[in-house]
Structure 1
Amino acid sequence: MPEKSTTPTITALLDELAADPNAVLKAYAANTAFRAATAEELTNPDNPFRRPVRPADLAWLDYAPVLPEERQLLLSGLLGHRMLRNVYDAENALLPPRANDPAGADGARFHSPENRLLGALARPVLENHLFGYLDEGREELAEPTADAVKSLVREYSERRAAEPHAAFATAAGRKDAQSAATFLLIQTGVFLPASHSAVGRAALAETALAHPGLKSALGDIWRAWALAAPEYHAMFQGAGLTSSPAAYWQFSLGTSLARGNHLLHLALAGDRLPEFLGAATHFLIDLAASAAPLRDALRQSLDLRAAYFGTIEPLTPDQAAALVDTFLGPLPERFGPGVVAAFHRGFTDAARIAGRWDRDLTEQLVWADRIEDYKTAAEGIQHKLVTEKITVDLDTFVESHEETSTTHVHDEHRLVMVESGQMHFWNNVTHRIALSEGDKLLIPTSRLHGSVVLSGTCVYHQPIIPEEMFREFVAD
């Protein structure tokens, strides 16, 4: 008797998951490679597949709608970009530095057919949630011509060269500049490999008949990245780090993931090549303008040679504009002005994402360097709450020894008030902040952090602080 077909069961499962986008993501995040972190997993240099997502938070997060621009730094943005990077990376071969049992087990789950199938279902949900906002507020070209785009690109290149990302000077100017520069290097290592991988994927596209020079132009970018690998890896080793992009997974800002995810998103969408070419043009201009100030910040704060950034040649405004001709080539003539409009969309969207990354990273660096100020602010806010008998929403946690909170952000300002026990609080790989009975710390909205309980039990409270009260106690 023939075996009963399992096709109806699979079809029913797919129909059920497709009917509820959040069910898709919950099923995807149930992969044990994405389980919440333990106390020993603050970093994972030997296991590129171990990527905590905080799956329990998906019980209340809603990924069905587009995430508005003003909410991109909140929790669904961070966890969404973590999941989306995992979806993309599951299609690539990943090797740990050496064979080890944890990496073997997690790697099998990471690359399993089930995980890749669920990832294929999750991908459009996540891309819509995370990137759908880009269609709002975009200033379109008045006249979609190559000359108009070249003029915009030339002006952007001049401005970027004159005004490097603020985060570079912010890192070098911190009291603990070494910790800040370490965090800056980690963030750079989150999106540089992903962005170059996107370029490599785009170079595989079959474009030779329509644009004979495109494959070689993209291939040259990938080849330069591959040839600079020794300098790139040595830069991280000089800082006491590894260049594995997932090694410091818990310390990857959502905006750092977003920069790479945006390029991968466009490179893997076969019908969005002109948008990708615009985004890639922005990437090259931004990288060329950032290389020298970023190298200088790393040298000043970490005494790091950072020779990798010396391999990146600066671009003059005219050279930047010439990238438009290189990448668009004959496409506008062959496919019409829509190609130019799409190129412009990709370029301006990438610039928006990079700008948000700079602001997010700058704020994270400032907060991490001013922890004592935020402890003082927390004392003042708690005093005000008690003396003025102000009632605010509050969450209370009772956690046991080594219970760990995978790094995350809050969607509102919160106090951490330890009633009893001890915990370690962290926002960087460089050190841990000890909190014990009576200690308080103010955590602003969207600031990345995590913790682990050190005592047998730790009881702590998190009052939610209104914006007006936060501004009363926190100076810019």
Structure 2
Amino acid sequence: MPLDLADLLPELDPSDPNSTVKAFAANSAFRAAEWEELTTEENPYRRPVRPDDLDWLDYGKPMPAAKSLKLSALLGHRMLRNVYDTGLLYLPPVPGPAAVDDGAAFYGARNRVLGALAGPILERHLFTLLDGEYKPLDSADPEVLRREIRDYHESRVAQPGRALAVAGATKDRKASATFLLLQLSAFLPAARAAVGRAALGEYDEAHPGARVQLLDQYRNWADAQGRYRTLLEAAGLRPGAAAYWQLYLGTSLGRGNLLHHLSGDREKYPEFLGALLHQQIDEAADGARFAAVLEDGLGLRTDLFDALDPLSADRLDARLDSLLTPLTALHGPEAVHRFHRGFSDARWFAALWDTDLADQLAWADSIELHREKAERISRHIDDSGIEVDLDTFVESHEETSTTHVHNEHRLVMVERGQMHFWNNVTHKIAFGEGDKVLIPVSRLHGSTVLSGECTYHQPIIPEEMYRQF
């Protein structure tokens, strides 16, 4: 049935951008997860968002950088990826009624219209912070830009990111390698899809060779699908968009979303090429390291990263010239600053991702330690008579908490009943009466109730007390 746009008007309040975001998130394909939907390998459209949380999150204004690892960022990037992906073709590997229903909701006219309206609101909320983080070049001289990019390339080759170092030092290497692979699956395919989107058009006379470069990168990804699938299988995973949606960090989604944002806005072509060059440098610097961590944890040495045509140091200057020189002819000296802006924004997101992933891996690998800390903090609160804010939940059998992060440090304390707590596909953690765990701010997790009913409490731990323990 054709969509009557007037049907949307009662839901949308022009003075409240949140009404548009809420209307988009109300799509049935984005509903909160149920117990059997912890993973969705056979349904590329099922993408839980936790829409109930939108009642108290504000997407009507830009998000400060201090909240870039908190809940509005995670849910915002989930929703924004859904906006971008409605313009791409995804097919379920196995036909089924759930995929049919969710696919109709995902690709329906209503969702596409609401996505077109919600997208700019989410982009403003999630990306405006980059204005304050950006450090402009001192000069529009291309050589100044070249030196900064060379220096960055050398530093990335010389030192691994913190996340890879943490992954290689964890006790449970398989769990860490699996979680790392999940994060790669959240942004590597998205980055290539953004490249494919950017390649469309007719611009060869103005920018010779650029379209072929972009198409080659997309084709390399398509040609490498066998290697990608083999790598996933080594971890017991399957390919497919959103297959492990609930375990994608907000920063993993954000890295792909930035490239989608820049490639979809045709006025940001120079910024997109700068961000793309960063992506190529980052992959080249870390490809062998990723492969080593994955081999250590999964027992398979992959050549996936070699197949993606990594950008070596001796090709860096030529690649930069091929992208930048035609841009300066089109836009003058401004092109240097715009290219640098895209490069810098992608660099900022990559650094945030490295911090987020490193902290997540370290926490997930030390759950027993955080159970002990929870006991000590709980005793300290009781013995000292300290009053802290407290949320209490009473949930029924199979009630599931879609994965999320908290904006503050919390304890989880089970008073009665049993539940599964989870932060990876590799295992679930059983909690029963009296069990406790400390969940630091911004750590991704979810839960499912196993008993007929479960009562649990979440004391909010002040920063000073958290640091004390």
Q: TM-score range by the shorter chain?
A: over 0.9
Match of 1:425 in 2: 421
Letter in 2 for 1:296: A
Alignment of 1:69-468 (within 5 A): 69-468=65-464
CA pair 315-94 structure 1, distance change in 2 beyond 3 A = closer
Greater shift in the superposed pair: 449-458 or 139-148: 139-148
Q: Is contact 2:224-2:308 (8 Å) kept?
A: no
Q: Is contact 1:425-1:450 (8 Å) kept?
A: yes
Q: Is contact 2:416-2:432 (8 Å) kept?
A: yes
Please give the alpha-carbon distance, in whole angstroms, between the structure 2 residues aligned to 1:367 and 1:330: 47
Please give the alpha-carbon distance, in whole angstroms, between the structure 2 residues aligned to 1:11 and 1:401: 36
Size of the aligned set, in residue pairs, is 467
Q: Is contact 1:153-1:321 (8 Å) kept?
A: no
Please give the alpha-carbon distance, in whole angstroms, between the structure 1 residues aligned to 2:233 and 2:119: 34
Greater shift in the superposed pair: 234-243 or 22-31: 234-243
CA offset at residue 213 of structure 1?
1.5
Match of 2:35 in 1: 39
Alignment of 1:39-78 (within 5 A): 39-78=35-74
Please give the alpha-carbon distance, in whole angstroms, between the structure 2 residues aligned to 1:390 and 1:12: 49
Q: CA RMSD in A?
A: 1.4
Letter in 1 for 2:322: T
CA offset at residue 6 of structure 1?
6.3
CA pair 217-91 structure 1, distance change in 2 beyond 3 A = same
CA pair 290-225 structure 1, distance change in 2 beyond 3 A = same
Please give the alpha-carbon distance, in whole angstroms, between the structure 2 residues aligned to 1:125 and 1:465: 32
Structure 2 gap segments, 5+ residues each: none
CA offset at residue 327 of structure 1?
1.4
Please give the alpha-carbon distance, in whole angstroms, between the structure 1 residues aligned to 2:171 and 2:294: 15
Q: Is contact 1:425-1:452 (8 Å) kept?
A: yes
Question: Cα deviation per residue 1:250-296 (whole Å; 9 max; x = unaligned)?
Answer: 00000000000000000000100000000000001101111100000
**Secondary structure, counterpart of 2:236 in structure 1:** coil
**Secondary structure, counterpart of 2:350 in structure 1:** helix
Question: Cα deviation per residue 1:200-220 (whole Å; 9 max; x = unaligned)?
Answer: 111113322311221111111
Please give the alpha-carbon distance, in whole angstroms, between the structure 2 residues aligned to 1:125 and 1:313: 36
**Secondary structure, counterpart of 1:272 in structure 2:** helix
Please give the alpha-carbon distance, in whole angstroms, between the structure 1 residues aligned to 2:93 and 2:460: 43
Question: Cα deviation per residue 1:182-214 (whole Å; 9 max; x = unaligned)?
Answer: 000010111000000111111113322311221
Greater shift in the superposed pair: 382-391 or 163-172: 163-172
Letter in 2 for 1:440: K
Please give the alpha-carbon distance, in whole angstroms, between the structure 1 residues aligned to 2:395 and 2:366: 27
Greater shift in the superposed pair: 330-339 or 317-326: 317-326
Q: Is contact 1:399-1:458 (8 Å) kept?
A: yes
Q: Is contact 2:373-2:438 (8 Å) kept?
A: yes
Please give the alpha-carbon distance, in whole angstroms, between the structure 2 residues aligned to 1:421 and 1:81: 34
Q: Is contact 1:413-1:444 (8 Å) kept?
A: yes
Greater shift in the superposed pair: 355-364 or 310-319: 310-319
CA offset at residue 172 of structure 1?
2.0
Please give the alpha-carbon distance, in whole angstroms, between the structure 2 residues aligned to 1:255 and 1:82: 10
Please give the alpha-carbon distance, in whole angstroms, between the structure 2 residues aligned to 1:38 and 1:434: 18
TM-score w.r.t. length of structure 2: 0.97
Greater shift in the superposed pair: 319-328 or 85-94: 319-328
Question: Cα deviation per residue 1:227-250 (whole Å; 9 max; x = unaligned)?
Answer: 111111111112211121311000
Please give the alpha-carbon distance, in whole angstroms, between the structure 2 residues aligned to 1:68 and 1:240: 38
**Secondary structure, counterpart of 1:18 in structure 2:** coil
Letter in 2 for 1:52: P
TM-score w.r.t. length of structure 1: 0.96
Letter in 2 for 1:212: P
CA offset at residue 13 of structure 1?
4.4
Please give the alpha-carbon distance, in whole angstroms, between the structure 1 residues aligned to 2:4 and 2:89: 30
Q: Is contact 1:232-1:307 (8 Å) kept?
A: no
**Secondary structure, counterpart of 1:431 in structure 2:** coil
Please give the alpha-carbon distance, in whole angstroms, between the structure 2 residues aligned to 1:458 and 1:63: 32
